């Protein structure tokens, strides 16, 4: 009986941790005048869509904007995420987007709902009750990549390159831009 009570308390604490995480805000981007190289940064393609935090819990998902507004217009999409992401609970940071036949994000298709939406996930903040925000970014991304291993999914992992921001920008010229984030994830 004592073990059952302990397990119930741990379960309640985990649910409370994720509920408290609703106070999270996506990190704002800052502009740089030119691409740069740095051992302290990783670099990702910038996705042209709606920045969002995905709160997944008990088979349900809410997508919140950086202004803490719920995206109500993506009801079927959030339902799909909740039913298909295999976690008890999680908070993912990413971008809602529509992609063309080449996999490039197309903002007007998202704005006018011309294609099926996908969620480009680039960070994992909470997983199964564990707060990962103090874990280095590269480690969080490794956990996220492992979580999103399914080939056919509407939740896609955003990979990164280390150090070479200048060269990555040259390769990514067909994209809107490149994002740099500190390796420590701070």
Complete domains list, the chain, with CATH? 2-182 (3.30.470.30)
| Position with higher pLDDT, 78 vs 180 | 78
Please determine, for residue 11, whether its predicted confidence score (pLDDT) is greater than 80.
no
Tokens of 152: 């056919």
pLDDT in tens, 91-115: 999 999 998 888 888 999 999 989 9
Place of tokens 């649910």: 15
Q: How many angstroms separate the CA atoms of 99 and 145, rounded?
A: 20
pTM, two decimal places: 0.72
Per-residue pLDDT averaged across 148-171, rounded? 64
Q: Does residue 167 sit in helix, strand or coil?
A: helix
pLDDT at 18: 46
Reference 42, options 177, 133, 137; nearest CA is: 137
User: By the 8 A CB rule, do 81 and 97 touch?
Assistant: no
Q: Among 25-39, 50-64, 104-118, where is mean pLDDT lowest?
A: 25-39
Q: How many angstroms separate the CA atoms of 46 and 137, rounded?
A: 17
pLDDT at 20: 39
Tokens of 168: 């990555």
Place of tokens 């004592």: 2
């Amino acid at each position: 009986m004592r073990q059952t009570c302990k397990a119930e308390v741990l379960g309640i604490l985990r649910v409370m941790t994720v509920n408290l995480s609703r106070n999270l805000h996506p990190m704002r981007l800052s502009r740089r005048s030119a691409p740069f190289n740095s051992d302290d940064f990783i670099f990702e393609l910038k996705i042209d869509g709606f920045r969002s935090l995905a709160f997944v819990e008990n088979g349900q998902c809410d997508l919140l904007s950086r202004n803490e507004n719920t995206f109500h217009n993506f009801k079927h999409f959030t339902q799909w995420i909740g039913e298909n992401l295999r976690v008890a609970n999680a908070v993912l940071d990413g971008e809602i987007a529509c992609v063309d036949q080449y996999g490039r994000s197309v903002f007007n298709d998202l704005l006018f709902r011309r294609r099926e939406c996908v969620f480009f996930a680039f960070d994992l903040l909470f997983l199964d009750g564990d707060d990962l925000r103090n874990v280095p970014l590269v480690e969080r991304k490794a956990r996220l990549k492992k979580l999103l291993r399914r080939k056919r999914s509407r939740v896609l992992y955003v990979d990164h390159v280390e150090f070479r921001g200048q060269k990555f920008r040259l390769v990514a010229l067909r994209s809107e831009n490149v994002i740099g984030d500190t390796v420590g994830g701070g």
